[in-house]
Structure 1
């Protein structure tokens, strides 16, 4: 076990240093690929070994690791402060200085440094390690050929890939440390490492827009870091321990403890870009696609929902729990509405991610076995499908020079393989029997006792159908015979294929995932499950797969007949001017025919909704933190 933990946390650190120091592209390719394979194998091995209660790494050169982590904590905050000064951003400076001062008081005045196990793992931690190590590794491998082409497009005189892969790979180690940490100060350290890595990756290209968005991400997450420190202090005053396991075992312990827990959840809210903090994650879309995919699927934002979900036993049955559910549900419906008004593929994915994270947080707030089951299923399947879609958008953008979904209309003619994979990713977010929709159904069922939450979840689920169906249908809008097969580099094709197959196959294994990984960690059975027949509560997964298979057979048979059908040009009421579909328009001028989606920007546009959404979201968060008092 100790060797596996060292591999999962320290190997990415060493590999990141190798990527930074050794500037050879072939060495970097080897290091990233081998690291990804080893991390994936180690995560599976840790899962097979099972949960463990407590483990500490001992000492390094006679120094305790608690001391080393404390020194690294202050060093990291010093680096963040340096960038705050360099960027002349007062908010970063204030939030970071406040963290440093409070940590000094906490470490040297308040805390009695008793031995606390550094790491522990239950099935939630093991699931998160699988998501981080496997999906994160595939994204890093995808980044190897992607960044080569990205830098060719930027016409760089000197490659910045060593720095890029340093932070990208380091991110994986920090996240594994975060989800395995038992000492809450260690958890805070890894939490801050993810903040700094995301800042560096968002600003990687060095453009004015990239730096501005990286700065916004840093100050918002520094605010979350400040909330985390104050939350730690209050939790320690209430519980008298730094052990996360002991805090969770004790459960809710009065106003002081609940306020501390509420602030820890607030830190998770900022990290998960919940309203009104969504702008930092939207701004992160300026970063190269592997960064977007990593932030959205298996690292940064998942750290936020993990903290809120991990702390669930400490606020179960309280008003704080109900308010967390309302906050998450509001983000779910608000960002689903905002996504409808977007045509930028990355923005649609960003709003969809924030929306789904809100759904996961709502499940954590509902805090029943059924809701926790839904949250964990959503974490797994959202990570797979969303990473797949981001990588597809990056591949498409490099081919057609656009990320606008209108420019992807009829993309099957040009990129049949990528289009098929992307549409499959869309369907796994949209249709049964895939895991994301099963999780949404469970979440809505779990919200049956909360009228406001269930209304927002039902409305948000309906809104998601609009933008997913619109996007998927556009890509498969036409198909011409004789189109040559699309060729992709192996390190682009492999992650896409593995994620696509994983999204489909793992959905079929949902009953097994529940029975083997989720149910053992719940206080009571949430669902009736029969792995032999594929029954998961009210959902007969295998039966749904059979219906899906039958539908695919019918669709493929219809598709095979399509090339033999006669193509008819659009008919514009007698005003056609030629065979190209143009027609006579105003002032008798020719107008070229074109198809386009309806975005309802007067209802769902960012300029219409964002201000009101942010005001409501901020009010709900203030109410949530006040609910702990």
Structure 2
């Protein structure tokens, strides 16, 4: 039964990806994506219910799976090297060679291939990640079916690129599931590289100059992470003598000898998670179609980075490396929250918010206490749902109004009522209690109570986050009342995906105490001494259920009051008596007695938090912190 389920979550997406590429009939491709999504989502829940396991596959046609993974790994590296020459990018060439040569020497002369190493290991963290990847990732793939049809119509493409697009989109899910379940570090490295290549191809999908440029940047930055991974893996093996990730983790710092390789592996996680100063590749990924952005930010790629740092946390607990990781994560959380304030582009707000929240998760891994690790896992779960929902909403809005600028979303309810409501739900789940993202932030701040530098950065970052989320929600809520709002026409798959994600983010928060007591606490208890339960009762430390009751009552009250005010006459904005006296026209008399249209806008504080003002300085500070972190490990 277990081999079948592992095949479904790892190999089925590969088979489905091949089917999407070669069976070039849109109806068949859509059915493949739908069936694959349902299968891996259900299987992930079955695996979650089954609990922890260790497993090694047998052979395929008499060939060991280790040999097949090694062959696939070198093949992929040479494909990346081919693209390096095609793109004429010297950095990618150097980084590819710096992986190929050491890896070949390592495989030929160092690795004991006769030693038995379990290929897969799953605990609650890995199984939670599989569920997040499989369920949220599948919903994003389903959303992409109607979205890509509209996207290509907008681009006026003669020949559809959807077969290639869905090949990499679906393959991404299998690669991520393989990554989080891998115990053999060579397998983990292979899946790490697959996600790098998939992201490169998906970002470059539209084949425009800017898309290729940003995809190239993503490839070289993540290839740098690949180099760090290779050298960290080789060094760790020379110290421990095993390819087993669990053995490496259990070996601990070993008097400091293991800190450098662990630090290099964490650096690989930093690049994958787009932490400062590597954030530009993820910001550049915004040029890709919206499903790609949603997938990269919520359930794949960047989550691979935080997973690696979090998975290795027991190996560097109580060391200077741990403190360095906490500082790097906290600084990213604060700096990216500050820059997000100056952004009016919806996708950029979401991108900086994602990098900021990933920094918070990495900070929790560095704090390395039961409370902090719990906060990190809670954030992974709830951030994935809310962020996937918001990215898909922005993509839907952009198709509907032709803009992703949040200033253009004033009165969105009058044009796209369903999408506007769902977007508001997504924003509120990021900032209100008792939804999981705020719950995780609160726990992270409490966990940092003994570290003055970290707690100040977390408190300031949380305050700044509230500014841009509340501003966006306020814009969406500003709309003149009307007796009748036109119905929004939407594809059934789009409607299903947005509704499912919105409902899921709310309902899942109801079960946050159950998630903790059933999944997180038992796992953390094996590594850390738990002195106090975060959810000591069914109500929980955040009084989850009473707060939900209050929110529900407030919603019902607001709905009733809004209905009562439906017949109120709307008045024009007062503009010092200089209004243009035409029904329905919002304008005033300006210079030369000419009408000037009234336009509402927001303060973005670009002179304080502008991207061009802060990026250079925060990158410099972040790089200094990383050097300090690795230098301390040495």
- Normalised by the length of structure 1, the TM-score is 0.98
Secondary structure of 2:449's partner? helix
1:62-73 paired onto structure 2 within 5 Å? 62-73=62-73
Following superposition, the deviation at residue 155 of structure 1 comes to 0.6
Secondary structure of 1:583's partner? strand
Aligned to 1:519: 521
1:271-310 paired onto structure 2 within 5 Å? 271-310=272-311
Secondary structure of 1:120's partner? strand
Aligned to 2:554: 551
Secondary structure of 1:443's partner? helix
Aligned Cα root-mean-square deviation (Å): 1.2
Deviates more, 1:328-337 or 1:230-239: 230-239
Report whether the alignment pairs 1:583 with 2:588: yes
Following superposition, the deviation at residue 323 of structure 1 comes to 0.5
Aligned to 2:210: 209
- Offset from partner CA, 1:10-61 (integer Å, 9 cap, x none): 0000000000011010110110000000001100111111101x21111111
Aligned to 2:7: 6
Give unmatched runs, 5+ long, in structure 2. none
- 1:564 pairs, out of 563, 567, 588, with 567
Q: 1 CA distance for matches of 2:370 and 2:533?
A: 12
Q: 1 CA distance for matches of 2:536 and 2:160?
A: 51
Secondary structure of 2:121's partner? strand
Following superposition, the deviation at residue 558 of structure 1 comes to 2.4
Q: 2 CA distance for matches of 1:529 and 1:227?
A: 36
Aligned to 2:230: 229
Q: 2 CA distance for matches of 1:195 and 1:464?
A: 29
Following superposition, the deviation at residue 484 of structure 1 comes to 2.0
Aligned to 1:443: 444
Following superposition, the deviation at residue 395 of structure 1 comes to 0.7
- Offset from partner CA, 1:360-406 (integer Å, 9 cap, x none): 00000000000000000000000000000011111111111111111
Secondary structure of 1:427's partner? helix
Report whether the alignment pairs 1:89 with 2:94: no
Aligned to 2:506: 504
Aligned to 1:136: 137
Aligned to 1:58: 58
Q: 2 CA distance for matches of 1:394 and 1:212?
A: 22
Following superposition, the deviation at residue 586 of structure 1 comes to 4.4
Secondary structure of 1:117's partner? coil
Following superposition, the deviation at residue 526 of structure 1 comes to 5.9
Following superposition, the deviation at residue 104 of structure 1 comes to 1.1
Q: 2 CA distance for matches of 1:46 and 1:72?
A: 26
- Offset from partner CA, 1:562-590 (integer Å, 9 cap, x none): 32222121112233332433223345543
Q: 2 CA distance for matches of 1:263 and 1:170?
A: 27
Q: 2 CA distance for matches of 1:369 and 1:357?
A: 18
Specify whether residues 530 and 296 from structure 1 end up closer, same or farther in structure 2 by C-alpha distance, changes over 3 A only: closer
Aligned to 1:80: 80
Secondary structure of 1:276's partner? coil
Following superposition, the deviation at residue 480 of structure 1 comes to 2.2
- Normalised by the length of structure 2, the TM-score is 0.97
Q: 2 CA distance for matches of 1:501 and 1:534?
A: 21
Aligned to 2:366: 365
Following superposition, the deviation at residue 531 of structure 1 comes to 7.8
Give unmatched runs, 5+ long, in structure 1. none
Give the conservation status (yes or no) of the 8 Å contact 1:99–1:225.
Answer: yes
Report whether the alignment pairs 1:495 with 2:487: no
Secondary structure of 1:449's partner? coil
Q: 1 CA distance for matches of 2:565 and 2:443?
A: 38
Q: 2 CA distance for matches of 1:304 and 1:526?
A: 29
Aligned to 1:218: 219
Aligned to 2:533: 528
Deviates more, 1:162-171 or 1:66-75: 66-75
Following superposition, the deviation at residue 552 of structure 1 comes to 1.1
Give the conservation status (yes or no) of the 8 Å contact 2:432–2:438.
Answer: yes
Following superposition, the deviation at residue 487 of structure 1 comes to 2.4
Following superposition, the deviation at residue 532 of structure 1 comes to 6.3
Aligned to 2:341: 340
Following superposition, the deviation at residue 280 of structure 1 comes to 0.3
Secondary structure of 1:619's partner? helix
Aligned to 2:153: 152
- Offset from partner CA, 1:447-499 (integer Å, 9 cap, x none): 00110100000000000111111111111211422112212111111111111
Give the conservation status (yes or no) of the 8 Å contact 2:269–2:305.
Answer: yes
Specify whether residues 302 and 530 from structure 1 end up closer, same or farther in structure 2 by C-alpha distance, changes over 3 A only: closer
- Offset from partner CA, 1:155-210 (integer Å, 9 cap, x none): 11101000000000000000000000000010000000000000000000000000
1:319-468 paired onto structure 2 within 5 Å? 319-468=320-469
Following superposition, the deviation at residue 528 of structure 1 comes to 2.9
